[in-house]
Amino acid sequence: MESSVLLSILLPVALGIIMFGLGLSLSIADFSRVVIYSKAVFIGLLCQMLILPAVCFAIAKLFNLSPELAVGLILLSASPGGVTSNFYTHLAKGDVVLGITLTAVASLLCIFTLPLIVNFSMQVFMYESRYIPLQFSKVLQIFIIILLPVAMGMVIHKKKNSLASKLEKPVRIFSLLFLVALILMQVIKERENLESFWQQTGMAVLSFNIISLVAGFFIPWVIKIPIKQSIAISMGGGIRNSTLAITIALSPSLLNNSTMSIPAAIYSLVMYFTAALFGFIMSNKMRNKLK
């Protein structure tokens, strides 16, 4: 119990530090480019909030998941991109500003879209519907973790540019160490359940994760979205807010179904490895492009 409470405090703080580090290299001018590239924002949201949930329905049918597991997987697909997707975008040399924008906007829109998608999935797979109240408090937490630290970093970048340059390296090192610790922590935490989770829904979850990363990159890229922005869209689709999905599945006032939390639990383990590999490939691609 103490470790879970400690984690609930340390995780937002660590993510806040990561976002602060990203803000150190950003300026207001960077965000003005998002207005210019509104097409990328629209395509990113379309992929995250419509195309990928539709793909998830197909995967649930293809793998013949039990009704509860199918709803759990679709609940995950209806959740917005995770905060750490912006860090992965940064590592892969993608458009961090676009990534932050997509996370913020998708988190706000999911207040309305998530209940609709999940209730529809329950009608399709379980022949029932259950009202899911709007998760505004969760969305507000995401905004605080993302926007406030980024804004602080941007202020230092503008007012004290030399200080921002000095802080960037240690914050980046911390971010890398945190990433490794997060992966190890997830593996250790769920080590007793890994085999059971994988047997129940492993291949379906892995398929959805890989398709989310690949489709999230190639759909924008095919329609001439710049590669850096395609990377941001891909990371936002591939790294989901699994914590939100698990909370909704387990909450007594919401779905109150532990089985529905299994896809999000295993996804939270898989996504860090696949996104790291995908980010490494994209980073090398960008490095070769700049040569």
DSSP assignments along 195-212, one per residue = HHHHHHHHHHHHHHHHHH
Cβ pair 244, 80 in contact under 8 A: yes
What band does 186 get if pLDDT is binned at 50, 70 and 90? Answer: low
Which residue type sits at 73?
L
Confidence at residue 34, expressed as pLDDT on a 0 to 100 scale: 65
- pLDDT at 76 > cutoff 70: yes
* Separation between Cα atoms, residue 265 and residue 109, nearest integer Å: 23
Q: What is the pLDDT of residues 147-167, one digit of tens each?
A: 778 788 888 888 887 887 788
Residue 82 is given by DSSP the state P
- pLDDT at 115 > cutoff 50: yes
* Separation between Cα atoms, residue 86 and residue 235, nearest integer Å: 7
- Copy the structure tokens of residue 65: 């998941």
**Higher per-residue confidence, 144 vs 267:** 267
Cβ pair 88, 239 in contact under 8 A: yes
- pLDDT at 275 > cutoff 80: yes
Which residue type sits at 70?
A
Confidence at residue 272, expressed as pLDDT on a 0 to 100 scale: 84
Interacting residues of 105 by C-beta distance below 8 A, sequence separation 6+: 41, 45
The whole-chain average pLDDT of the chain stands at 79
Q: Which of 27-36, 85-94, 104-113, 203-212 has the highest mean pLDDT?
A: 203-212
% of residues, the chain, pLDDT over 70? 75
Q: How many CB atoms lie within 10 A of CB 72?
A: 34
- pLDDT at 135 > cutoff 70: no
What band does 5 get if pLDDT is binned at 50, 70 and 90? Answer: very low
SS3 81: strand
* Separation between Cα atoms, residue 45 and residue 43, nearest integer Å: 5
Provide the terminal-to-terminal Cα distance of the chain, rounded to the nearest Å. Answer: 51
Q: How many CB atoms lie within 10 A of CB 250?
A: 16
**CATH 1.20.1530.20 matches 2-285:** yes
Mean pLDDT of 262-266: 85
Q: What is the pLDDT of residues 16-58, one digit of tens each?
A: 776 677 677 667 766 666 677 788 889 999 998 899 999 999 9
Cβ pair 51, 219 in contact under 8 A: yes
- pLDDT at 12 > cutoff 50: yes
- Copy the structure tokens of residue 281: 């490939």
Q: What is the pLDDT of residues 78-97, one digit of tens each?
A: 888 877 788 888 888 888 88
